[in-house]
Amino acid sequence: MRIPVVSASISSCLRFRPSFLVSLALLVCIPMLTLSCAKAQTGESKHLLIYTIDVEGGQSTLLVSPSGASMLVDTGWPGNNARDAVRIQAAMKDAGITQIDHVLITHFHTDHVGGVPELVKRVKVGEFLDHGPNREDSDITRHDFAAYLKAIDGTPRRIVHPGDTIAIPGLKVVVLVADGEHIAAVPGIKPEPNPYCATERAWPVDPSENARSNGVLVTFGKFEFLDLGDLTGAKEVALVCPNNPIGAVDLYLVDHHGMNLSNARALVDAIHPVASIMINGAHKAGMPEAWQTVHDSPGMQDLYMLHTAEGSDAAHNSAEPLIANPKGITTDGAYFKVVASSSGAFSITNTRTGQTKDYRRK
Ligand SMILES: [Zn+2]
């Protein structure tokens, strides 16, 4: 465990007390201070930053490349006095960015797209990316899709398809799934037969927007991060069976907040992540079967959770240091910050505790 370098450096900047200095000394020291802090902030400039923002059971994941280019995957919920937009802005501030270049909407459920109207009131967005029209036959989703289109009016919108890339300097971002379709091969990765398909169970056809989720593989040098939104079991299996086009990944954002409708073993075991982050709420998802599947994935070291899954039992919750917002502890949207290097090494910081743990594929 260690305190992250940048936090310590920013803390040391904040500990600076100009009131103790005479004016002349202030004039001398301010340039030094500026230099020192600037150096601290660029200490992460060779890294990919990933923030799994706590939107209380929705998704909002911010990625900031070494070049400062950014992508936000989903925007959380509407309402709550713009809580989720405010939390997104807090992560942006930590990363030192003032606008978001790409906002990828995985699908049109409220916990993913609902935050768009409040976000665009506060943050300049370069473009929105989505899978195309809502195809779910429900009034709430029709309403949320219409609200999304209204909110992004005037901002470029692009519909993405499997195999498309999202241009972020320094990163390779490939769309694996979109609108129910999936990629057969990722450039640079040789699909391999997936040994876990033979024992996979049958999954029901899912007519909801979940099955149409956009999902991306983000590559930074040797580091790979997988985010498939709320993709459900049948589409997960279609993606990785009979051949796995993804290979192994370093960090897995657990599908569908850890719902049992998702996280097929044929997917989770085939990608066998080094670490995983489950973006569950206190009373949303984080289900025992999904937790166990991810926990048991070969080589998986740690399963992080945004909240204690209060509807689950102690045997299917991670240890408290791995939970950002544990039951009974007052927090205000603690989240996980991932700092990844192109070597494949990465660290995960629990912002509640300030503790950081380092990872590298063995
Ligand atoms: Zn969701």
Q: How many angstroms separate the alpha carbon of residue 211 from the centre of ligand 1? A: 11
More confident residue, 254 or 9: 254
Q: How many angstroms separate the alpha carbon of residue 13 from the centre of ligand 1? A: 38
CA distances from 309 to 57, 174, 303, 317 (A): 10, 31, 13, 7
Q: How many angstroms separate the alpha carbon of residue 106 from the centre of ligand 1? A: 9
Q: How many angstroms separate the alpha carbon of residue 11 from the centre of ligand 1? A: 35
Q: How many angstroms separate the alpha carbon of residue 33 from the centre of ligand 1? A: 43
Rounded to an integer, the average pLDDT of 302-328 is: 98
Task: Read off the pLDDT band of 37 (50, 70, 90).
Answer: very low
Confidence check: pLDDT of 31 > 60: no
| Cα torsion through 123, 129, 135, 137, rounded to 10 | -10
Q: How many angstroms separate the alpha carbon of residue 305 from the centre of ligand 1? A: 15
Confidence check: pLDDT of 299 > 50: yes
Task: Read off the pLDDT band of 44 (50, 70, 90).
Answer: low
Rounded to an integer, the average pLDDT of 338-359 is: 98
Q: How many angstroms separate the alpha carbon of residue 209 from the centre of ligand 1? A: 10
CA angle 234, 239, 240 (to 5 degrees): 105
Look at strands 323-325 and 302-307 and give their pairing.
Answer: parallel
pLDDT digits (tens, 9 = 90+) for 240-278: 999 999 999 999 999 999 999 999 999 999 999 999 999
Q: How many angstroms separate the alpha carbon of residue 24 from the centre of ligand 1? A: 56
Q: How many angstroms separate the alpha carbon of residue 112 from the centre of ligand 1? A: 6
Q: How many angstroms separate the alpha carbon of residue 84 from the centre of ligand 1? A: 14
Averaged pLDDT score across all residues of the chain: 90
Distance CA 344, CA 362 (A): 11
Distance CA 146, CA 167 (A): 27
Distance CA 257, CA 30 (A): 46
pLDDT digits (tens, 9 = 90+) for 53-104: 999 999 999 999 999 999 999 999 999 999 999 999 999 999 999 999 999 9
pLDDT of residue 45: 74
Peptide bond just before 207 cis, omega within 30 deg:
no
Q: How many angstroms separate the alpha carbon of residue 10 from the centre of ligand 1? A: 34
Q: How many angstroms separate the alpha carbon of residue 229 from the centre of ligand 1? A: 7
Q: How many angstroms separate the alpha carbon of residue 342 from the centre of ligand 1? A: 30
Q: How many angstroms separate the alpha carbon of residue 161 from the centre of ligand 1? A: 20
Q: How many angstroms separate the alpha carbon of residue 207 from the centre of ligand 1? A: 15
Q: How many angstroms separate the alpha carbon of residue 230 from the centre of ligand 1? A: 6
Q: How many angstroms separate the alpha carbon of residue 46 from the centre of ligand 1? A: 31
pLDDT of residue 362: 73
Q: How many angstroms separate the alpha carbon of residue 12 from the centre of ligand 1? A: 39
Q: How many angstroms separate the alpha carbon of residue 97 from the centre of ligand 1? A: 26
pLDDT of residue 153: 98
- Assign 3-class secondary structure to the chain: CECCHHHHHHHHHHHCCHHHCCHHHHHHHHHHHHHHHHHHHHHHCCCEEEEECCCCCCCCEEEECCCCCEEEECCCCCCHHHHHHHHHHHHHHHHCCCEEEEEECCCCCHHHHCCHHHHHHHCEEEEEEECCCCCCCCHHHHHHHHHHHHHCCCCCEEECCCCCEECCCCCEEEEEEECCEECCCCCCCCCEECCCCCCCCCCCCCCCHHHHCCEEEEEECCEEEEECCCCCHHHHHHHHCCEECCCCCCEEECHHHHCCCCCCHHHHHHHCCCEEEECCECCECCCHHHHHHHHHCCCCCEEEEEECCCCCCHHHCCCHHHEEECCCCCCCCCCEEEEECCCCCEEEEECCCCEEEEECCC
pLDDT digits (tens, 9 = 90+) for 98-111: 999 999 999 999 99
pLDDT of residue 113: 98
Least confident of 56-60, 169-173, 194-198, 328-332: 328-332
Q: How many angstroms separate the alpha carbon of residue 138 from the centre of ligand 1? A: 16
% of the chain at pLDDT higher than 70:
88
Rounded to an integer, the average pLDDT of 121-135 is: 98
Q: How many angstroms separate the alpha carbon of residue 74 from the centre of ligand 1? A: 9
pLDDT digits (tens, 9 = 90+) for 205-246: 999 999 999 999 999 999 999 999 999 999 999 999 999 999
pLDDT of residue 35: 32
Q: How many angstroms separate the alpha carbon of residue 263 from the centre of ligand 1? A: 13
Q: Are 335 and 306 in contact (CB under 8 A)?
A: yes
Rounded to an integer, the average pLDDT of 123-129 is: 98
pTM exceeds 0.85:
yes
